[in-house]
Amino acid sequence: MTAPQDHLRFEELAVGHAVCALEPDDEQVFVQHLATCAACEREVQEHLQTLSLLGLSADPADPPPSVLEGIRAGIAAGNRTTPPAARRAARSQGVASLDDARRRRSRRTTRALQLVGAAAAAALVLSLGAWNLALRSERDASRQYGDRLAAAVRDLARPDSTTVRLTADDGSVVAVAVVQDSGVSLLVDGLEPNDRGTTYVLWAQDRAGGVRPVGAFDVEQQQVDAVDDLPVEGDVDAVTAYLVSNEPGDEAPPAPAGPVVASGEV
């Protein structure tokens, strides 16, 4: 069992291991110890979590004068002459002097701090870049969504438009087809989001019972949305009903193969 005073060394090595700043010998010793020590494993995980949150940390602030004075006093104390007994103990561990050990540790600490600083800067840059990109993407998506709804409202207000209510099996209206000479716009409200690898297809049925595809569309979330400018081939006036089916793939097939989820007569 590792004595508490000896385990302090491994607690210090845990920081350097988390930021990949240990010397090869120390890394090997710590990795062997880590495999049998749950406490050090927790220490490493905590340091890694801290590093992952550095990009969200607060703005840097100057430390109070008392902290700086304490650091200077510690540095001055570290430069004092090493007692003979301590020098002999250091030589027994393969270190020329405690001053040499301090210099080695100082180099490792400096390297670790540099890596932590670099990790913090990189995390901050990446998080800000991703955040700005997400905001831009959300603004673009909101603008496109608003444009689609505005166009659908304009189509509904036109005197030459014909609206067809498309109902599900339970009688609920899940979409409205807005028919004009140039084609169809679809207002969707109640269709479940389609799974990946499937698509919704709007179909036009004529007087003879023939069915032809008008266009494919996706429903990403259950909300009011609009699908614009779906062209109807042939004579729009010859269409007697519109249907919506859920089809495999991402394009409209020549004929319905999936279940019809909504329909309405003109």
Domain at 245, CATH number: 2.60.40.200
Question: CB count, 10 Å around CB of 146?
Answer: 10
pLDDT of 185 above 50: yes
Long-range contacts of residues 125-133, Cβ cutoff 8 Å, at least 24 apart: 125/55, 126/55, 127/55, 127/56, 128/55
Q: Are residues 33 and 119 in the same domain?
A: yes
pLDDT band at 168 (very low <50, low <70, confident <90, very high): very high
Does one domain contain both 121 and 176?
A: no
Picking from 114, 131, 148, the residue at the C-terminal end of a domain is 131
- For residue 93, the model assigns a pLDDT of 46
Strand runs labelled E in 55-172: 162-167
Q: Is 93 within the bounds of a domain?
A: yes
Whether 120 and 182 share a structural domain: no
Query: Looking at residue 95, what is its pLDDT?
Result: 45
Model pTM score: 0.47
| pLDDT over 90 at 89, yes or no | no
Is 147 inside any structural domain?
no
Q: Which of 112, 131, 150 is the last residue of a domain?
A: 131
In a domain, 12, yes or no: yes
Q: Among 34-48, 125-139, 203-217, which is the least confidently predicted range?
A: 125-139
Domain assignment present for residue 138? The answer is no
Is residue 110 a part of any domain in this protein? yes
In terms of domains, do 122 and 224 share one?
no
Q: Which residue has the higher pLDDT, 95 or 119?
A: 119
> Going by C-beta distance under 8 Å and a sequence separation of 6 or more, which residues neighbour residue 234?
206, 212
Round to whole Å and give the CA distance between 262 and 200.
10
Q: How far apart are CA 32 and CA 25, in angstroms?
A: 11
Q: Examine the domain organization and report whether 107 and 42 are in the same domain.
A: yes
Q: Which of 19-33, 78-92, 95-109, 161-175 has the lowest mean pLDDT?
A: 78-92
Backbone dihedral angles phi then psi of residue 214, each to the nearest 5 degrees: -100, -45
Residues 109 and 203 placed together within one structural domain of the fold: no
Domain range spanning residue 244? 162-265
**What is the model's pLDDT at position 92?**
47
Residues ≥6 apart with Cβ < 8 Å to 151: 185, 226, 228
The answer to whether 232 touches 252, Cβ cutoff 8 Å, is: no
Amino acid at 71: I
Residue 93 to residue 109: CA distance in whole angstroms? 20
Q: Which two tokens stand for residue 229?
A: 């400018």
pLDDT surpassing 50 at residue 24: yes
Do 8 and 127 lie in a common domain?
Answer: yes
Give yes or no for residue 55 having a pLDDT over 50.
Answer: no
Residue 136 lies in a domain: no
Please check the confidence at residue 80 and state whether its pLDDT lies above 90. no
Q: Are residues 187 and 249 in the same domain?
A: yes
- Identify whether residues 126 and 21 lie together within a single domain: yes
Task: Please identify, among 80, 108, 131, the residue that sits at the C-terminal boundary of a domain.
Answer: 131
Q: What average pLDDT does this structure show over 19-24?
A: 80
The answer to whether position 125 is within a domain reads yes
Cβ neighbours, 10 Å, residue 79 = 8
Query: Rounded distance, CA 262 to CA 176, Å?
Result: 10
What is the CA 138 to chain-centroid distance, rounded?
A: 13
Residues 120 and 174 in one domain: no
Does the residue 154 lie in any domain?
A: no
Structural domain count of the chain: 2
